[in-house]
Every structure is written in C-alpha cells, then in structure tokens.
Structure 1
Amino acid sequence: MNYDFNWAGIIPALPYLAQGMKTTLLLAAVALALGFTMGCLLAVVRIYGPKPLAKLAAGYVNFFRAMPLILMIFWMFLLMPFVLRKLTGDPYLTVGPMYSAIIALVLAESAYFCEIVRAGIGSVRSGQMAAGKAIGMSTLQCVRWVVLPQALRNMSPSLVNQAVGLLKDTSLVYVISLNDFFGAAGQIGLRNGQLVEFYLFAAAVYLAICSTGVALANYLRKKNQQAY
C-alpha cells in the first residue's frame, strides 16, 4: 500500500500547534512543581513521621502508583464534579478539563516523586543526620538543611527522567478534549486529512525534547559518579 506524504499543512498549522505546546508545558511545569513538593512531604513523612502517618503515606503512594494515569484523569474529570456538587449543593458546579488534568497529574506524580526522594534521602549517610542533631538542630531542620540538599544532588538524574516521563504523560489529556500539543496535532491532522503527517511531526517534537532531557540526566549521572 502506497501512501503519498504531504507535509505542506504543517507550516500553516504551527501557530495552533504552538498554543497546544503552551498547554503541554504548563501542565508539565505545574505538575512537576506541585508533584515534587508533595513528593518531598510524603517522603519525609514515610521516613521520619509517626508510624500511623507513615503507613497512610505509604498507602497513598502504593495506590496512585498502581492506578493507570488515564483512569485518574477520567476520575478527576467525570467523578470529581459529581462529588463536589453533592458536597456543595451546587448542581452546576464544574471543574473543567485543565484543572482535572492538573489534579490527576499532581496526585499521580507525587507518588513517583516520593519514591525518588525517599531513595535520595536513603543515599545520604546516616552520620549526616547525627551531626546535625549534635549541633542542636531538630529533625526537620536536619532534613531541610543537611539531608535534602545532598539527596537532591544524588537524585537529580532520576528527577530529570521523571520530568521527561511527565512531559510524555501529559499527552493523555486528549481523552478529556484538552487541547495540548498532541491533541492539537490530532485535530488539525484529522481536519486536513493528514493525520499520519501530523502524528509523525508530533512524535519528532516529543523525541527532540525528551532526548534532550535524557542527555541531561546522563550528564548529571556521570557528574555524580565523578564526584564520588
């Protein structure tokens, strides 16, 4: 079967694709910032918190790591408005695809970031915590000023890899009709009858961005190995 590729429609569509890329980058940036923050808190609770809280945090992490992300996005988009309407009594309350996607991504990514941060904290020698306490620091102060800075350096390659994975995961928001880069490419390709060309172009863009992230992760890994 022969297929005649026609790339002429891509250049005129670049402004629309750029708008989709802005949505993709916004989702990735917000989910990265909030997910990493929540992941740090969960990791600290799992390691240093009281046993009941540590178990709750572990249950949270295990639950969200086990759930497919696409299912989480559907839940946030379809079920969360229903729950909020019941709680508030407002029958017209909506959440919208953008907030649904952000909430789903943050909840899921925080579980993965928790495990990365937990492994990073575990890579710091226990004597560092003891040294901090010896000079009068509390446990939280030791974690904040002594352990986490060292752990951040150790886990930086894994953080970059997770960020790359997060950028790819944002493409799943097309299922709730959010106009991200992947969704925009699909819409224009379907409209112009050039679906193959636009999906190939989207794949090339994702490949270029993610390859840059992987190269950065490899550089940080080599740098950390040299430091030791």
Structure 2
Amino acid sequence: MNSSESVLAVLLDSLPYLLWGAYPQGPLGGAALTVLLSVASALASALLGLAGGIGLALLQGRVKTLLMLVLGFFRAIPVLMLIFWTYFLLPYALGISVPGVLSVMCALSLVGGAYMAHAVHAGISGIGQGQWAAGLSLGLTHTETLRHVVLPQALRIMAPSFVNQWVTLIKDSSLAYIVGVNELSFVAAQVNARTMVYPAEIFMLIGAIYWLLCLGLEHTVRGAAQRLAGQPG
C-alpha cells in the first residue's frame, strides 16, 4: 500500500467517528454534535438578538442605556472566558452543575445575541419613517406596525449580518473542547492522538467539514431570505 492509499485508508476509517462520534453505541459527537450545538445556539442568539434589537429601537432613557451596557459587556467578553464562567463559576457561586454542552450553548447564545441585537437595530433604523407612518395611519398600533410592516422589510437588511454571525458561531463552537465536549475539533484531536500519523491530512479534512457546514448555512439562509422576499431561489 503506497502513501496516498494509507492516508485515504486512515481518513475513511476515522470518518464515521469524526461525523457522529461513538453514536449509537455511545454519546453523539463529532460533526453531528457541532451541528446540534450550532443550531440550538443560533436559534437562541436570534431570539435574544431580536429582543435586544427591538429594545434598542423602542426604549428610551436609562433603560436603553442599561441595555446598551449589557450588550456591550457580552460583545467585549471573549467566548472562551464566558464558557469558563458558566462551566466553573456557576457551580461554585450557585451550587448547580452546568453540563459542558449547555455552558457552551449559553456562552455562544449570549455573545451572538449581543452582536445580532445591533444588526436588528440597524435593520429597523434602515426602514424609513414613512413606513411607520403608513402603518399607524392604517389603525395599527406601534407594536403591530413594527411586527407587520417594519420587521418584514428589515429582515432583508439583517440577513447578511445574521449569516456572518452564525458562521462565526459554528467556528466558535470548536472552543467547546476546553470543557470536554466531544464536538468536531475534540474528536479530531482524539483521532490524531490515536493514529499518530497524517495530522495535516486529518485536520485538512476537519477544515473541509467546517467549510461545508458554513457553506450549507449560507445557502440555506440565502434561500430562505429569497423565499420570504418572493424571489426565485
């Protein structure tokens, strides 16, 4: 067996473990866990970002200032530090045990939500005052105008920022290895330690898997945005 055949044999032998870990004989891991962790964090960060962005657009005075300080705090804190805080500090401070997956999801959601809040605020601010006036003139309340008139238009402005943040979230999920979560990067390190050969090839494969995940996300969101806008896919 020549060198290229040996590389291919090692990669093919390790691929199932890289894709879904020890499942079904053991816990789910690898790329499958990365996807689940990223999807859950993306949904949570989108909800937090939507709430925060609407708050920035509608609130005034000290309440808005407080919200901006909270969002600024989470934007300034490194994701890795926030993972450490939720995983190690909460059990010490509150006496509760936080699973590694949950601590990573919370950290990614809070940081991602803080960035998305500003994207939502920018999208709402990009809609002209005439749209607000049109909704109010139809008898809609301020909240109904925001929901039915402004937000559907603002979504097209927000979409690129959401995609960028979700792509960053997928890559940041690799930080979960620090608390022992067996996501894609963690199992890749295990495979590399077990085989002790071809580390460059193994991590090139991991890079390709991350690239495919990010590419799939971009096409999915772009297609959804086009359908919402009534454009052909």
Query: In which range does the TM-score fall when normalised by the shorter chain?
Result: 0.7 to 0.9
* Alpha-carbon separation, structure 2, partners of 1:51 and 1:38: 21
The alpha carbon displacement at 1:138 in A equals 1.8
TM-score when normalising by structure 2? 0.83
- Deviation track 1:18-58 (CA, whole Å, cap 9, x = no partner) reads 22111111111111111111111111111102422211211
* Alpha-carbon separation, structure 1, partners of 2:39 and 2:218: 17
* Alpha-carbon separation, structure 2, partners of 1:108 and 1:196: 31
- Structure 2, gaps ≥5 residues long: 21-29
Aligned to 1:16: 17
Q: Which moved more, 1:8-17 or 1:72-81?
A: 8-17
SS in 2 for 1:26: helix
Identify which of 86, 89, 95 aligns with 1:76: 86
Matches for 1:190-209 after TM superposition, within 5 Å:
190-194=193-197, 195-209=199-213
* Alpha-carbon separation, structure 2, partners of 1:157 and 1:43: 16
- Structure 1, gaps ≥5 residues long: 86-92
Matched residue type, 1:35: S
- Deviation track 1:117-141 (CA, whole Å, cap 9, x = no partner) reads 1111111111111111122222211
* Alpha-carbon separation, structure 2, partners of 1:115 and 1:59: 12
Conserved 8 A contact 1:46-1:54: yes
Aligned to 1:6: 7
Identity rate, percent: 33
The alpha carbon displacement at 1:216 in A equals 7.0
Q: 1:218 to 1:137 in 2, by over 3 A?
A: closer
Q: 1:218 to 1:138 in 2, by over 3 A?
A: closer
* Alpha-carbon separation, structure 1, partners of 2:167 and 2:33: 16
Conserved 8 A contact 1:38-1:110: yes
TM-score when normalising by structure 1? 0.85
- Residue 115 (str. 1) matches residue 118 (str. 2): yes
The alpha carbon displacement at 1:213 in A equals 4.5
